[in-house]
C-alpha cells in the first residue's frame, strides 16, 4: 500500500477501505508515513468528507493506536462524559458526584487544560493532596468501592490523536467533522465506558460557533458512538457567555460546591440535570427523563451528591474539608470589583475574552509547562439580560497582586456590551439528542 495512492483516492472523492485506514493510522503513528503526506490526507478528508463506515474505521484504528482501558474489573455499567470545552465549564465537578450518588458508576479519564482555565484535573487539584495519578488497579478499586474516580489520561492513550491533532492545528484541518469525531470518540472509546454523554457547546466561547454546526457535530459523534457499540447521547448548549459565574480553578470548585449544596439553580444545575438524566436513562437506571431528574435532585437535596464529592476527594488522597467549608479553598490575596461605566442591560459577554482574562491572571496555561495558580480568576455578577446600574459591579477579579488585578479589571470591561432596553436570551439548552440520530 502506498500513502500517495490513498491521498489521490481521497482527493478524487472515493472512500478508503478499512485496511487502507488501518495502514494509514498504524504507519503514521509509527513515524513511517511523514507529516507532509498526512497533512495532505487531512486536507483531502476535510474537502471530500468520509462516510460513516470510514469514520468508524478511522475512530477504531485511532482508538487502538495505544493503550485501551478494559473496565471489566469494575462491576456494573460505567458512564463517562465529554465536553467540547467552554469558558467556566465546571460541569464534571457537579455532574459526576450527582450521578454517582444515584448509583451509576463514573469511571472518568480527564486531561489538564490548555487555554483559559485548567481542565477538570487542575480544578480538582485545588483540594490539597488530591491526585489523579492513579494506577489502573487503584482506579478500578476506587470506582468499585466509591462508585466514582477521575484519573489523569495515561501517556499512551490514542497516540495517533496526539500526532494528528498537532498536525491539524498547523495545517488548517481542524474543522473537519470526520477528523473531529474520530479524534474525540477514539479517546472516549479507549477510556472504556459503556455510556458516553457528550456536551457539545456552540457560540463565542466554544469550538463550534453556530448551533447548526454544533448539532451536526453532535449527531455525528453520537452516531459513531452507537456504531461502536456504546450508549450515547448529546446535549447542545449555548456558550455565548461563560457557564455559571466563576472562571478560574478554585473559584469554579467553590461554585460547583454551591450547586451540589442546592444553593444555586442556574444554567450549571440545568445542564448537569440534563446530562445526568441522559446518563441515567441510557444506562437503564431511570425509566424516563423526569424520573432521572427527580433522582438527581434528590441526590442534591439529601446531601448525598456533596458527600460523594467529599468521598472521591478523600479516596484520591485529598483533604475534603473544603467540600463542607469552601472558605478553606485556596483564595487570592487581592479581590477587586469592576464597576459598570453606565446603566443598561447586559447584551453580550465575550466568553472567550473572559477566559483569556482568567488565563492572564494565571488561571490557565498558554503552554504545557505553565503552572496554574488555583486562586485566581473572575467571578461574574451580571450575565446576559441582567440590568445594571452605573457604578454597580459587573464582576470581581481575584488576583495574585494589585498590578495584575488592575490590568484584568480593564480587560474585563471590554468583555461586556451593554444596551438600553430588554435583552432576550436564546435558550441555554438548544437540543438534546437521545436515541434519535
Q: Which residues are catalytic?
A: 82, 161, 168, 183, 187
- Dist CA 82 CA 190 (whole Å): 13
Q: Nearest approach, Cβ of 179 to ligand URA (angstroms)?
A: 6
Residues 192-211 that bind ligand URA (CB under 6 A): 207
Residues 94-153 that bind ligand URA (CB under 6 A): none
Residue pair 352/87 in contact by the 8 Å Cβ criterion:
yes
DSSP class per residue in 148-168: EEEEEPPTTB-HHHHHHHHHH
CB nearer ligand URA, residue 184 or residue 195: 184
Name 265's Cβ contacts closer than 8 Å, sequence gap at least 6.
none
Q: Nearest approach, Cβ of 349 to ligand URA (angstroms)?
A: 23
Mask of contacts with ligand URA, 243-262, x by CB under 6 A? --------------------
Give the three cell numbers for residue 407.
490590568
Q: Nearest approach, Cβ of 270 to ligand URA (angstroms)?
A: 24
CB nearer ligand URA, residue 117 or residue 183: 183
Main-chain phi, psi angles of 100, to 5 degrees: -60, -35
Residue pair 399/359 in contact by the 8 Å Cβ criterion:
no
Q: Nearest approach, Cβ of 109 to ligand URA (angstroms)?
A: 12
Q: Nearest approach, Cβ of 165 to ligand URA (angstroms)?
A: 6
CB nearer ligand URA, residue 115 or residue 317: 115
DSSP class per residue in 381-406: S--TT-EE-TT-EEEEEEESSHHHHH
Per-residue CA distances from 365 to 122, 368, 411 (Å): 11, 7, 18
Give the three cell numbers for residue 247.
472562571
Residues 160-179 that bind ligand URA (CB under 6 A): 165, 179
Size of the site for ligand URA (CB under 6 A): 6
Q: Nearest approach, Cβ of 43 to ligand URA (angstroms)?
A: 15
Q: In which residue are the cell numbers 513511517 written? A: 32
Q: Is residue 184 a contact point for ligand URA (CB under 6 A)?
A: yes
Residue nearest to ligand URA (CB): 183
- Dist CA 131 CA 152 (whole Å): 9
- Using the 8-state DSSP alphabet, how is residue 326 labeled? G
Please list the residues that pair with 379 across neighbouring strands: 246, 396
Residues 286-345 that bind ligand URA (CB under 6 A): none
Q: Nearest approach, Cβ of 207 to ligand URA (angstroms)?
A: 6
Give the three cell numbers for residue 55.
469514520
Residue pair 190/68 in contact by the 8 Å Cβ criterion:
yes
Give the three cell numbers for residue 397.
477579579
Give the three cell numbers for residue 432.
438534546
Q: In which residue are the cell numbers 485556596 written? A: 330
CB nearer ligand URA, residue 153 or residue 183: 183
CB nearer ligand URA, residue 80 or residue 311: 80
CB nearer ligand URA, residue 165 or residue 324: 165
Q: Which of 61, 121, 180, 239 binds ligand URA (CB under 6 A)?
A: 180
CB nearer ligand URA, residue 159 or residue 303: 159
Q: How many residues does the chain have?
A: 437
- Give the interface with ligand URA as residue ranges (CB under 6 A): 165, 179-180, 183-184, 207
Amino acid at each position: 500500500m502506498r500513502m500517495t495512492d490513498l491521498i489521490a483516492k481521497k482527493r478524487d472523492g472515493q472512500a478508503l477501505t478499512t485496511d487502507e485506514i488501518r495502514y494509514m493510522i498504524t504507519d503514521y503513528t509509527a513515524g513511517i508515513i511523514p507529516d507532509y503526506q498526512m497533512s495532505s490526507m487531512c486536507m483531502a478528508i476535510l474537502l471530500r468528507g468520509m462516510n460513516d463506515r470510514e469514520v468508524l474505521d478511522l475512530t477504531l484504528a485511532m482508538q487502538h493506536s495505544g493503550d485501551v482501558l478494559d473496565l471489566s474489573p469494575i462491576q456494573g455499567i460505567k458512564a463517562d462524559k465529554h465536553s467540547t470545552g467552554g469558558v467556566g465549564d465546571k460541569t464534571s465537578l457537579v455532574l459526576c458526584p450527582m450521578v454517582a450518588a444515584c448509583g451509576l458508576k463514573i469511571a472518568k479519564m480527564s486531561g489538564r487544560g490548555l487555554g483559559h482555565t485548567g481542565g477538570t484535573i487542575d480544578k480538582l487539584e485545588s483540594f490539597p493532596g488530591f491526585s489523579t495519578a492513579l494506577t489502573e488497579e487503584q482506579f478500578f478499586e476506587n470506582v468499585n468501592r466509591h462508585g466514582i474516580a477521575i484519573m489523569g489520561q495515561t501517556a499512551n492513550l490514542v497516540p495517533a490523536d496526539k500526532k494528528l491533532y498537532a498536525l491539524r492545528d498547523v495545517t488548517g484541518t481542524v474543522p473537519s467533522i470526520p477528523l473531529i469525531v474520530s479524534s474525540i470518540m477514539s479517546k472516549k472509546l479507549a477510556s472504556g465506558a459503556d455510556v458516553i454523554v457528550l456536551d457539545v457547546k456552540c457560540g463565542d466561547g466554544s469550538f463550534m460557533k453556530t448551533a447548526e454546526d454544533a448539532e451536526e457535530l453532535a449527531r455525528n459523534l453520537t452516531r459513531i458512538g452507537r456504531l461502536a457499540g456504546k450508549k450515547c447521547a448529546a446535549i447542545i448548549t449555548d456558550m455565548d457567555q461563560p457557564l455559571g459565574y466563576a472562571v478560574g480553578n478554585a473559584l469554579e470548585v467553590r461554585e460547583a460546591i454551591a450547586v451540589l449544596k442546592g444553593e444555586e439553580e442556574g444554567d450549571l444545575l440545568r445542564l448537569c440535570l440534563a446530562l445526568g438524566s441522559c446518563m441515567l436513562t441510557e444506562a437503564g437506571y431511570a425509566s424516563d427523563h423526569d424520573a432521572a431528574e427527580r433522582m438527581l435532585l434528590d441526590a442534591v437535596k439529601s446531601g448525598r451528591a456533596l458527600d460523594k464529592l467529599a468521598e472521591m476527594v478523600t479516596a484520591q488522597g485529598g483533604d475534603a474539608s473544603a467540600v463542607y467549608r469552601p472558605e478553606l479553598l485556596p483564595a487570592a490575596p487581592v479581590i477587586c470589583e469592576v464597576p459598570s461605566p453606565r446603566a443598561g442591560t447586559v447584551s453580550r459577554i465575550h466568553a472567550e475574552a473572559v477566559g483569556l482574562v482568567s488565563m492572564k491572571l494565571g488561571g490557565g496555561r498558554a503552554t504545557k509547562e505553565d503552572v496554574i495558580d488555583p486562586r485566581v480568576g473572575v467571578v461574574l455578577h451580571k450575565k446576559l439580560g441582567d440590568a445594571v446600574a452605573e457604578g454597580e459591579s459587573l464582576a470581581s477579579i481575584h488576583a495574585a497582586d494589585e498590578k495584575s488585578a488592575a490590568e484584568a479589571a480593564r480587560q474585563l470591561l471590554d468583555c461586556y456590551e451593554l444596551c438600553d432596553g430588554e435583552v432576550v436570551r436564546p435558550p441555554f439548552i438548544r437540543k438534546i439528542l437521545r436515541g434519535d440520530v
